Structure 1
Amino acid sequence: MKAIVITQPGSPEVLQLQEVEDPQIKDDEVLIKVEATALNRADTLQRKGSYPPPKGASPYPGLECSGTILSVGKNVSRWKVGDQVCALLGGGGYAEKVAVPAGQVLPVPSGVSLKDAAAFPEVACTVWSTVFMTSHLSPGESFLVHGGSSGIGTFAIQMGKCQGVRVFVTAGSEEKLAVCKDLGADVCINYKTEDFVARVKEETGGKGVDVILDCMGASYFQRNLGSLNIDGRLFIIGTQGGAKTELNITSLFAKRLTVQGIVPLISGPWCSSK
């Protein structure tokens, strides 16, 4: 089969289309003929050499895909040859075929084309696992999403609204905020012209929001803590604003705050289709 190979760490020019060996499926895996894949920030980091694939994963980039099942392992009962699916991958989406554990395969959502479904698994699994499974965002609570117009952000807005949550977003332009508003965001904050902490406090009567999903890291850390309600939960999934900051631990005590983190865009048991 053909696959995109990272010949050495570097700029996009290091990506080359090459003939490689077909993947061999294990007993609990399926083989997918790839229809489409998607571009995630982790793919660009892997190309640069700063995001190595998990042990045992495909060496080729591509953390999600859509396509048609070509074969199934002997222990797989959920899927059959010919099923159209999308999947969360440890790697290998930038290829004509990819072997995937059956638990990381998802049905194509109703109303979504097979091609478009390639961009579904990463955002869906990231938002669901961090915001709802781990941070336990619940109906009636409030939720701040930084980077509301991003792939994860747009999905988080819609999922939050479906769960009966009041959604706050930040973005860097009025055009991006308009997109967020159309998707259901209740409070849209231009971080270039507004202090998001002050706006959050204003909109919540000084209480703050219950959950924050943050991709910035260090540059937003203290302000995020100041934007949380009692028993608030901060979930950090990126370090676009830096990875190192200082923390006065006592700032967590008065409001019983929780700070959590995860390496996003990695496969795991929370994406199981069972």
Structure 2
Amino acid sequence: MEAMQESIAKLHQLFTDKMEEYQNELQAASPSPNINSLKSDFAAFRSFILTALLTLQQQVGLLARQVDNIEMRSRRKMLLCHGLPELKNEDTSAVITGTIVERLKVVDFSVDCISKCHRMGRASGDGRPRPILLKLRDVAMRDKIWFAKMALKKSGITISEFLTKTRHDVFMAARDAFGMNKCFTQQGVVIVIGADGKRMRINTMDELNKIIVSLDSAKETPRQPTITLPSKPVISMKSRRAGIVNKK
């Protein structure tokens, strides 16, 4: 899907460049009735093609979002566990079960709750452990583990959601823009906490860019200076009486 989007973007750029070259040649040509008619036809043709390409881009973008949503729903029961030491010929199900029961205190968890469990990717030569992909049989157990993960704080072990590449890229970009403590994921949705404490849900890079632009524009908008009108002097009754006596 990403390759298709890139191909359409390249096609759009190629067409725009070629049309600009041809338009420059038309403008440089000597004016004549035929040239003027050709210019109007060219402008209409260019507008039609650009509109068609824009519509195609929007349709492909919509299709990509739908595919991403379907893929994310298929990962609803999955979690990634990072930082667990990797041993040769290990039983990853037993490793995960021991961690969840002993560290997270989920006492009703057992190997039978696991649908799939394995290390992700190839082993690295630097000795760093690969993350373990854990797929549960039940969503309720998955959520119980997810909300108990705070018990792993400062242990070097972390649990994260198994995001699609699109949402992972959005999450990393949001962390760069707002900070690590202002971003997290929940059920596959990227959550960003604004300066006012408001939580914003993000699924695509376009949504993230809109939020960044809106916040930047809000910062650049100058505040209107407040003008404090002078208050009327308060004349006490004693002052008024003293003035009357002096006049007499």
TM-score where L is the length of structure 1: 0.22
Comparing both structures, which one devotes a greater share of its residues to strand? 1
Comparing both structures, which one devotes a greater share of its residues to helix? 2
For the pair shown, which has the larger CA radius of gyration, 1 or 2? Answer: 2
TM-score where L is the length of structure 2: 0.24
